[in-house]
Amino acid sequence: MKTLARYVARYRRENASQGGTQRWVGVEVAEQRGHGEELAVVLSSGRRIEVKRDFDGATLRRLVIELERG
């Protein structure tokens, strides 16, 4: 929980300096499948982003940056 609070505080600081508004999304925790080595995010549009074991973190960061650009 402390990690989440730290990220929320950092997000608020960054947005305050940019004059942005916060946008929160609902998250649903699904049953655990596999060995906990996978991550999947399903967007409200139904699109799915999924990474498997040994994924390239740099590629994921670039993807997130592009998605945040809108």
Query: Is the pTM here over 0.85, yes or no?
Result: no
Question: What is d(CA 66, CA 19) in angstroms, rounded to the nearest whole number?
Answer: 20
Question: What is d(CA 38, CA 53) in angstroms, rounded to the nearest whole number?
Answer: 6
Q: Which residues contact 37 (CB under 8 A, 6 or more apart)?
A: 52, 53
For the chain, percent of residues with pLDDT exceeding 70: 76
pLDDT single digits (tens) 8-33: 888 888 777 766 666 777 777 776 66
Which two tokens mark 12? 């608020």
